[in-house]
Amino acid sequence: MSQKEMKQKKNAYSNRFYYPQDEAIEKPFNWKQMTRLLEYIKPYSKTLLPAAFGAVLVNMIVRLLIPILIGQFVIDRAIINQDYQLLVYLIVFVVALYFVNYLANHFRIKTVNVLGQRTIHDLRRQLFTHVQYLSHDFFDKRSAGSILVRILNDVNSLQELFTNGIINILMDAFMLIAIIVILFTLSPQLALAVLVILPLMFYISTKLRRNIRRTWQNVRLIRSRLNSHLNESLQGMRITQSFAQENENAAYFDGVNQENYERERIAMKKSAYFGPIIEMSNAIGTVILIAYGSVLIINQSMEIGTFVTFAFFLGMFWEPISRLGQIYNQLLVAMASSERIFEFLDERPTVKEAETPIILDDMKGQIIFDKVKFSYDDERVALHEISIEVKAGQTIALVGHTGSGKSTIANLISRFYDPTDGRVIIDGHNLRDLSLESLREHISVVLQDTFIFSGTIMENIRFGRPEASDEEVIESAKVVGAHDFIERLAQGYDTEVEERGSILSAGERQLLSFARALLADPKILILDEATASIDTETEMKIQAALRQLLKGRTSIMIAHRLSTIREADNIIVLENGRILEQGDHDELVEKQGEYYSLVKSQFDMLEEN
């Protein structure tokens, strides 16, 4: 492959999984956002949080006490005065302190882990629940992959902050101040001398950190693309195989995967510089300590114990510095992730529940479209002033060329979208005034591309009415003619179907969704191209079942097949979002308009075959 082709290929994959809204990997620190994040810890402010702080406090006190005990007491008092009894007491005391420290540490780690896990769990649950209630237009604008990345990756990247970050910031800041105060109290001259390299080290490490941070940003970016690519590839695997595009797809994957490897390698390499710099600062500090400290001891300006205590504290000085830098990076990443999470959480459903919604316990099923206009976006109008009346219990069929607006009408009846103008009225109520839940409870939709959830056949049919008994499930399967094929499956109704029901044929999936719809016993039934995947023999069988299914309900059928629509009470022929003609089959045939030509073309096709 030439250089140019390689470059083209590289651009192709990076454009394919490029989500501009997910590009910002870090954002400046923002207090408002931080306080909003801290809200998630609030439920634990009386339980886990004080427990963790208590343990941290014990740990800090012990760590600060040990060097003082060793220098000021063990060396300067017990050893110098040869007071062996005091020495034994001190050793016992130090052992006890270490033991308490061990317990406190153990408790702290356990508590902060639980705290982190719980806050992440709460946040993820809130995010998922919230996203579930968002309207269809939200999902129209975003790919499943990009939503997935936010609920998984962005929430995950807050985990470390909630687990250790917040506690560590406070602990390290406190330790640092305490150590500086102690160093200056022990010996101001020596403290000044050893900390002289601090500004230089601070400068180098800030520069380096910024650089390292950028390389990790790149890693996160490519990981999120890797996720999206995987998600799309696995979902589209059948299409990939049927077009024999495995090699192309593998090349895309290789590209992203290789880049992931490269970026991680660079990030790791740069990160590896950081440890040695801290080490070196520590080394320089120690050399100054030995040189200048010895002079002070020889001059008798410092006692040996003080020197030892000083050495201990100096050793402890670099750890919080290094960790605070890390936490700062974590904070910036958390700012970007939380901004994206809050963007979803602040998103409100465009289809809003009325302030005092009307709950329909019973629905008759009369539907009126009163001069309804609708656009999905600013550019195109999907429906132009549509007026339709469907009496309760009637069956209407929507026919028309692809893109003429049939599914859009169905979407408006379920109130997945609100009309841009005009009203949709059910049983005399504007849909905007009805409770969404009670409206949708009375409506069942059977789509051409039936969605089968992972679980058993029984569970999938029961989805229509969760409280239905096994007998009721089987009965509805019998009515729609699904019982026979289910019985032939190895485990019958207990057969597990996964991955959108891939072990079933398209027709079988549709029969299942019929059974599901029948079980739900809706007042309004919407069948969107619902019989398209069923062969003629099954279709004959199902015609009778369909008559049962339609009985006593208002039905909207979107179908291309003549056999399913000729019995409808009213047939509405749509073109480019307008009603072209309407009437029953005989009327429309007599009229010899658009419907007549549709019917004729189907017959011609049948005769040709």
Ligand X SMILES: Nc1ncnc2c1ncn2[C@@H]1O[C@H](COP(=O)(O)OP(=O)(O)OP(=O)(O)O)[C@@H](O)[C@H]1O
The smaller minimum CB distance to ligand X, of residues 305 and 400, is found at 400
The smaller minimum CB distance to ligand X, of residues 135 and 153, is found at 135
Angle at 487 between CA 485 and CA 488, to 5 degrees: 65
Q: Is 404 in the site for ligand X (CB under 6 A)?
A: yes
Convert 407-428 to b/e letters by CB count within 10 Å (16 or more is b).
Answer: bbbbbbbbbbbbbeebebbbbe
Q: Is 376 in the site for ligand X (CB under 6 A)?
A: yes
Angle at 547 between CA 543 and CA 550, to 5 degrees: 130
Spatial separation of the C-alpha atoms in residues 276 and 323, rounded to whole Å? 14
Which window, 229-237, 296-304, 396-404, 548-556, contacts ligand X (CB under 6 A)?
A: 396-404
Q: Which of 255, 285, 325, 405 binds ligand X (CB under 6 A)?
A: 405
Q: Is 357 in the site for ligand X (CB under 6 A)?
A: no
| φ, ψ dihedrals at 435, nearest 5° | -70, 130
Q: What is the DSSP letter of 361?
A: S
Q: Which of 39, 140, 496, 590 binds ligand X (CB under 6 A)?
A: 140
Contact call for residues 396 and 568 (beta carbons, < 8 A): yes
Residue 244 in tokens? 């024999």
Q: Is 382 in the site for ligand X (CB under 6 A)?
A: yes
The smaller minimum CB distance to ligand X, of residues 356 and 402, is found at 402
The smaller minimum CB distance to ligand X, of residues 108 and 406, is found at 406
Which among 457, 455, 460 has a CA at the least distance from the CA of 484? 457
Which window, 33-41, 301-309, 362-370, 375-383, contacts ligand X (CB under 6 A)?
A: 375-383
Q: Which of 82, 300, 402, 536 binds ligand X (CB under 6 A)?
A: 402
Which residues, 6 or more positions from 532, have their beta carbon under 8 angstroms from its beta carbon?
448, 559, 560, 561
The smaller minimum CB distance to ligand X, of residues 53 and 376, is found at 376
Which window, 212-220, 271-279, 402-410, 428-436, contacts ligand X (CB under 6 A)?
A: 402-410
The smaller minimum CB distance to ligand X, of residues 394 and 408, is found at 408
Distance between start and end Cα atoms, the chain? 48
Q: Which of 111, 227, 306, 408 binds ligand X (CB under 6 A)?
A: 408
Which among 339, 422, 329, 334 has a CA at the least distance from the CA of 381? 422
> What would the x/- binding string for ligand X be over residues 85 to 124, using CB under 6 A?
----------------------------------------
Which among 352, 354, 370 has a CA at the least distance from the CA of 422? 370
Helices (H) and strands (E) in the chain, counts: 23, 12
Q: Is 449 in the site for ligand X (CB under 6 A)?
A: no
The smaller minimum CB distance to ligand X, of residues 54 and 403, is found at 403
Contacts (CB under 6 A) with ligand X, residues 549-578: none
User: Which chain residues interact with ligand X by CB under 6 A?
Assistant: 140, 376-377, 380, 382, 400, 402-408
